[in-house]
Structure 1
């Protein structure tokens, strides 16, 4: 198994925008204003304070196929914590806040600590903490402020479209559940595409909110093999207990200074 396994595909497969064209984006830390869902958008996002989930990611990327066990913890709008294990051994741990990113790679005994620009450079789009949080749990992702929306409904589905930094974003909402069913992202310039499909909706206690236990990520870039990540959540708990988000770096680990 290649030690350089695709870290971010495992950690945040539902946000695999790195498959889009590598374009220059600002690296200065900025806050991207996001408006609440427009009144005509029929999506209902998950209501919680703490979320804990465990599952498995099946990865097919860079000519390799393998699986990783995932543990995800969140404090809404505040912290995302992810642990990825291979063969029962933790390989990667990440702690992400709106203004910081910390990642330990235990396979290589390195760590990264910096601001959210790390993820923006990885994906080459202006990713925000709220967008990342939404994609991991299957929430509708509101458009940046002052962005024109196209909202249409046909049968059981509502479609919302907008552009962000030249990238086309399309979200399909299943009206019966008021939950996101599919996310399509396309870069017309590079002809790269990303599709995230949410499935296996199950009610979560205590309020029976529907949650997608299955996430399929398909990324395609011209001239490269498609990358696919399937995330299957087994156990998902909302507000069952106050969660901790442990993160410490062993003294012998070297800092990875990413450009």
Structure 2
């Protein structure tokens, strides 16, 4: 399987974010540890969304059903024109993608993915992105700058610089800029159309732009997403995922 479905799935996960809304805080700016970035806590999450994936001459549109069980599993089912096309299961060990149209599947481990994208990828990282939580845990090396209407939280993980733009009133991350040192590879995520989801502010619209170098030159991938439904569930969800014996592993 080529990289296109994987990029699509990882990019989709970036948008599945929700965070607790607050009325803002006042603090001694010299104490950066008091920047109270709001992060969601939950047991189960589910959502329905429409996505538009553009990469060069490729323009794909699909619907997606998403389910998450905290610290355990992320399940995604893709369909187009009423036909179920693919299913993805992300757990603590690996990512499995099943292509129902071609009757094949692929399994990716986190070590190989981390080397491929030059950034540490694991379940905790994907879940943090999926919920709009900080991708990089807070540390004493973080830098904080106060702007007019937001805080800029600057972090580092290896050779990746991560800039988090935090709304000064809601304490919600509204934009993330990731830059790889020594290359022109960047990824920018923007969240908008925030609506209340129980006690949480949830972005029903999002856009991600990924600029990365390949042997064919620099490519730009753009993904737009719009949610039609999002819920924090109080009941246990099911995550059906069974690969038929006749499916071929790629």
Compute the TM-score of the two structures, normalised by the length of structure 1: 0.81
Unaligned runs of 5+ in 2: 15-31
1:219 deviates by 0.9
Q: Which residue of 2 aligns with 1:202?
A: 195
Q: Verify: 1:57 aligned to 2:51, yes or no.
A: yes
Please list, as runs of the form range in 1=range in 2, the aligned pairs for 1:1-259 lying within 5 A after superposition: 6-13=4-11, 39-113=33-107, 115-143=109-137, 148-205=141-198, 208-221=199-212, 223-256=217-250
CA distance in 2, matches of 1:120, 1:233: 29
CA distance in 1, matches of 2:86, 2:140: 36
Cα 1:232–1:87, aligned 2, differ >3 Å: closer, same or farther? same
Cα 1:81–1:118, aligned 2, differ >3 Å: closer, same or farther? farther
Kindly provide the CA deviation profile for residues 138-192 of structure 1, in whole angstroms up to 9, marking residues without a partner as x. 2222337x67211122222111112212111111111211111000011131111
Cα 1:62–1:122, aligned 2, differ >3 Å: closer, same or farther? farther
| Contact 1:10 1:84 survives alignment (8 Å) | no
Larger proportion of strand: 2
| Contact 2:76 2:87 survives alignment (8 Å) | yes
Unaligned runs of 5+ in 1: 17-37
Cα 1:62–1:118, aligned 2, differ >3 Å: closer, same or farther? farther
| Number of equivalent positions | 230
SS at match of 2:134: coil
| Contact 2:136 2:155 survives alignment (8 Å) | no
Cα 1:163–1:44, aligned 2, differ >3 Å: closer, same or farther? same
1:196 deviates by 0.4
| Contact 2:136 2:157 survives alignment (8 Å) | no
Compute the TM-score of the two structures, normalised by the length of structure 2: 0.83
CA distance in 2, matches of 1:77, 1:165: 24
